[in-house]
């Protein structure tokens, strides 16, 4: 979706040009996975081996490290349509799982691991993560979390900034649907997204960002961070929604990692629909004013604490309504985008999450009824390893 520039000021100068030449609604999807011992399904520090195996095959250029050596990220690259990106992420996961099997490891896709302690995980040795660890120390060590990120191409930097402002509002709804991290280090936390609590409450420049009037306002803020040596590169801004300077995209970083790739793709499709709707409203001159961070944070707390099992706040009406109703209302508002971008078939799995609730709530209930959380996690590893191939066979 674009080439990064090593010099941070040059990257910022080039960003407006990236957005000027961006194509609306190109898609990139990134999934983060736990690297697991095949016998115990505990996290194991074998990223470099798995990366090297992947780069020797069809995943060359499509895998990356994500802080710890028991984690690997798979990315689609740029998809011109959502259908193309969805098929690419299916193939990427199939290839990853095959390489893992050959190496004698497994991969898992839940927001946190139920038992593996952070003290056993090693930070990978890359220039970027040397900066991260050197700056954050304990905060970096503690961040054993796994999510899904979606990039949506948006033409014009000011327009992308307005869309980023708008997409902040929907972070709680996206999180509530995706919650898969009710556990950590051998305990049920009673949060539905422990990942969000660990990451957004500990990392600096994280969570829900402020409102930026336009690209110039954002540019001034990044320059302030660079000039005061608060950051050394723009990727040290870890907001839940951010304009990606190198790619000309709006990047949404709201969701827990999901075991079933059909759910993962459905959540990605929903994010694309919401982003495209915000762009349409901006073009029509009807995009509502951006919501205050404090209002969104209140809703975000509801999502990370209770997932889909408690009401969410409709910030337009200032009322709390059932989470399922809130999601259905948003889907109805996005119907023009769902139709024009061909998203309907990919969105179908959302109905299961709306009807039956988020996975974390269901797993928490099973543990409270006497099931072992490691056994439940083992089921999710199996789904992670097999769902992409099964979906590919279904869709042809």
- What whole-number distance in Å separates Cα of residue 97 and Cα of residue 275? 30
pLDDT in tens, 214-269: 999 999 999 999 999 999 989 899 999 999 999 999 999 999 999 999 999 999 99
Query: Is the CB of residue 350 less than 8 Å from the CB of residue 327?
Result: yes
pLDDT in tens, 43-92: 999 999 999 999 999 999 999 999 999 999 999 999 999 999 999 999 99
| pLDDT over 80 (residue 357) | yes
Domains of the chain, CATH where assigned:
8-395 (3.30.590.20)
Computed over every residue of the chain, the mean pLDDT equals: 96
CA angle 364, 368, 373 (to 5 degrees): 60
- What whole-number distance in Å separates Cα of residue 390 and Cα of residue 135? 43
The candidate with the shortest Cα–Cα distance to 237, out of 209, 266, 276, is 209
Query: Is the CB of residue 258 less than 8 Å from the CB of residue 148?
Result: yes
Q: What are the CA-CA distances from residue 185 to residues 43, 114, 188 (Å)?
A: 12, 6, 9
Say which DSSP state 315 is in. T
Query: Is the CB of residue 97 less than 8 Å from the CB of residue 388?
Result: yes
This prediction's pTM: 0.96
Q: Which are the contacts of 267, defined by CB distance < 8 A and separation ≥ 6?
A: 148, 150, 174, 177, 178, 255, 258, 350
């Amino acid at each position: 979706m674009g080439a990064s520039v090593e010099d941070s000021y040059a990257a910022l100068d080039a960003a407006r040009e990236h957005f000027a030449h961006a194509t609306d609604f190109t898609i990139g999807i990134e999934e983060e996975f736990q690297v697991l011992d095949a016998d115990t399904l505990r996290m194991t520090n074998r990223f470099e081996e798995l990366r090297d195996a992947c780069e020797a095959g069809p995943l060359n250029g499509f895998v990356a490290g994500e802080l710890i050596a028991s984690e690997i990220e798979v990315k689609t690259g740029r998809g011109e349509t959502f259908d193309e990106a969805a098929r690419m992420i299916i193939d990427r996961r199939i290839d990853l799982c095959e390489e893992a099997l050959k190496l004698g490891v497994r991969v898992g896709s839940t927001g946190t691991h139920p038992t593996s302690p952070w003290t056993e995980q090693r930070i990978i040795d890359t220039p970027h993560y040397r900066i991260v660890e050197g700056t954050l120390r304990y905060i970096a060590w503690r961040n054993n979390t796994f999510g899904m990120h979606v990039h949506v191409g948006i033409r014009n930097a000011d327009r992308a900034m307005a869309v980023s402002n708008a997409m902040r509002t929907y972070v709680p709804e996206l999180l509530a649907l995706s919650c898969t991290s009710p556990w950590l280090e051998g305990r049920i936390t009673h949060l539905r997204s422990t990942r969000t609590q660990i990451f957004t409450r500990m990392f600096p420049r994280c969570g829900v960002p402020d409102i930026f009037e336009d690209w110039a306002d954002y540019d001034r803020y990044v320059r302030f961070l660079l000039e005061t040596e608060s950051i050394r590169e723009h990727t040290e801004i870890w907001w839940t929604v951010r304009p990606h300077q190198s790619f000309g995209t709006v990047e949404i970083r709201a969701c827990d990692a999901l075991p079933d790739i059909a759910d993962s793709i459905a959540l990605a499709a929903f994010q694309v629909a919401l982003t495209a709707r915000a762009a349409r409203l901006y073009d029509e001159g009807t995009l509502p004013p951006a919501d205050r961070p404090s209002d969104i944070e209140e809703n975000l707390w509801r999502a990370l604490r209770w997932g889909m099992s408690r009401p969410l706040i409709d910030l337009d009406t200032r009322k709390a309504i059932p989470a399922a109703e809130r999601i259905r209302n948003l889907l109805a508002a996005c119907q023009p985008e769902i139709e024009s971008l061909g998203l309907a078939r990919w969105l179908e799995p959302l109905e299961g999450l709306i009807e039956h609730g988020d996975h974390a709530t269901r797993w928490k209930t099973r543990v409270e009824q006497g099931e072992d959380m490691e056994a439940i996690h083992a089921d999710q590893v199996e789904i992670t390893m097999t769902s992409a191939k099964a979906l590919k066979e279904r869709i042809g």
